[in-house]
Amino acid sequence: MNWEHILLEKKEQVALITLNRPEKMNAFGGRMRQDIVEVLNDVADDFQVRVVLITGAGKAFCVGGDVNEFLRQVQDAEGEVRSNF
């Protein structure tokens, strides 16, 4: 499978999962959140995998949640509330 923001490499009994949004310092959000769930399910279903390593592409592992995405969600919710009045 191909994921937008996650890379998966399986070698022998090791699964290497790489968060791959280096331009955003691997900020966690939307599509990445969906991708990581799919990747972890894939790895969990593979009985050959004994070790899972998670790393980040670029200079940061993961800076946390994607604040810009959170802000967009808040603004969208505010717009919905205003349109209901």
- Give the CATH number for residue 50: 3.30.300.220
The reported pLDDT for the residue numbered 83 is: 61
Determine the pLDDT at residue 21: 94
pTM higher than the cut 0.85: no
The three state secondary structure string of the chain is CCCCCEEEEEECCEEEEEECCHHHCCCECHHHHHHHHHHHHHHHCCCCCCEEEEEECCCCCCCCECHHHHHHHHHHHHHHHHHCC
The pLDDT, as a whole number, for residue 35 is: 95
Give me the number of domains the chain comprises: 1
Is residue 46 one of the residues assigned to a domain?
yes
Q: Which domain holds residue 21?
A: 6-83
Q: What are the 10-residue block averages of pLDDT along the chain, 85 residues in total?
A: 93 97 92 94 97 97 89 76 58
Question: How is residue 57 written in tokens?
Answer: 């592409």
pLDDT confidence of residue 85: 56
What is the predicted pLDDT for the residue at 71? 84
Residue 1 resides in a domain: no
